[in-house]
Homo-oligomer: A and B are copies of this chain.
Amino acid sequence: MAGDIAAGKARAADSCVACHGPAGISILPHYPNLAGQKAEYLEKSLRAFRDGSRVDETMNAMAARLSDQDITDLAAYFASLR
């Protein structure tokens, strides 16, 4: 499944950017930067947050709303940023 960068950007605007920043550079020190991160790692992280194998109250709630396609698109989008 190929990630759609434009779709990922639109999906990110909903919620991700509030903590991770509009360009994937996070605003607060305990949130990771996502810009330029490996797409495969981002996908793995989102799936782990969604299935609960990685525990973080905020991210578990966020990821619960994501489809497989959303995850692939978001990973492609953040990986595409500098």
* Interface set of A (CB-CB < 8 Å, partner B): 26, 29-33, 36-41, 44, 53-55
Contact = CB atoms under 8 A, between A and B. Distances in A.
Contact of A38 (B26, B36, B41, B44): B26
12 contacts: A26-B41, A29-B38, A29-B39, A29-B40, A30-B40, A30-B41, A30-B44, A32-B37, A33-B41, A53-B55, A54-B54, A54-B55
Task: Report copies per complex.
Answer: 2
Given A29-B39, A30-B38, A33-B36, 19 more contacts: A26-B38, A26-B41, A29-B38, A29-B40, A29-B41, A30-B40, A30-B41, A30-B44, A31-B38, A31-B41, A32-B37, A32-B38, A32-B41, A33-B37, A33-B38, A33-B41, A53-B55, A54-B54, A54-B55
